[in-house]
Amino acid sequence: MKTKKLFWSALLLATIALIGCKDGDVAVEKPGPIAMTEEAVGYYCNMNILEHAGPKAQIHLSFIEFPIWFSQVRDAIAYTRLPEETQEVAAIYVHDMSKAASWEAPGDDAWIDIQQAFFVIGSKMAGGMGAPETIPFGSQQGAREFASKNGGKVVKLADIPDAYVLGPVELNLQTVGSVE
C-alpha cells in the first residue's frame, strides 16, 4: 500500500513539473527534414504532394513525430501567419530550388531551413496548386538569377507581405491539371 502511494505521489509530482514548464525550460532537439513519400499529403489540399510540381514545404510541430506537408511553400508561410494555427512549430524546411532536381520533382536532397531562404515572389511561375508561389533559394544570387529569367522580386521571409500568402488569387489551372 505504501509503495502504491509513493508511486502515485511521484507520478503527481512529475505531472506538475511538466505542466509547470515554460517553453524555454524543455530542451527539444530540432528535427531535420524527412523524405517525401506516398504518405506525404498536403495539409490544406489533402492530395499527395508528389503529384505536384514546384517547391514544397514541411512543418515539424513540437512533440509530433511526422511533419505536416504543403504542396506549395506559399501555403506553409500562410499556415505560420494564421491565428487559428496554434501548434508550436519546431522547424520548417523548404526546397532550395537552386539545388532541386527539377521544377517538376524537386527531390529530397534540396531541403533548407526556411529562415535561411531567399524567396522570389511575383514571378510568372505558379506553385503545385496553381497559385502564385514563394519560391525559395539557398542563396540570394540563385534567387536573383531566377527572378531575372521569370520575373518577380527577391525578399526574405519576414518581407513577404501577408496579402501575398493570405489574399485571394487567380489560379493557373494549367499547373493544377485536370480533375477526372
Written as tens digits, the pLDDT of the chain (180 aa) is: 554 444 444 433 444 444 444 444 555 689 999 999 989 999 998 999 999 999 999 999 998 999 999 999 999 999 999 999 888 999 999 999 999 999 999 998 899 999 999 999 999 999 888 889 999 999 999 999 999 999 999 999 999 999 999 988 776 655 444 333
Residue 14 lies in a domain: no
Question: What phi-psi label fits residue 140: left (phi over 0), alpha (psi between -120 and 50 degrees) or beta?
Answer: alpha
52 phi, psi to nearest 5 deg: -120, 140
pLDDT at residue 18, rounded to an integer? 43
Give me the domain span that covers residue 168. Answer: 27-176
Number of domains observed in the structure of the chain: 1
Residue 152 lies in a domain: yes
Residue 164 lies in a domain: yes
pLDDT at residue 179, rounded to an integer? 34
Q: What is the CATH number of the domain that holds 48?
A: 3.30.70.2060
What does the alpha-carbon distance between residue 16 and residue 166 come to, in Å, rounded to a whole number? 39
Residue 10 lies in a domain: no
pLDDT at residue 15, rounded to an integer? 43
Residue 59 lies in a domain: yes
What does the alpha-carbon distance between residue 84 and residue 141 come to, in Å, rounded to a whole number? 35
Residue 139 lies in a domain: yes
- Host H or E run for residue 76: helix 73-81
What does the alpha-carbon distance between residue 115 and residue 94 come to, in Å, rounded to a whole number? 10
pLDDT at residue 57, rounded to an integer? 97
Residue 4 lies in a domain: no
pLDDT at residue 71, rounded to an integer? 95
pTM: 0.79
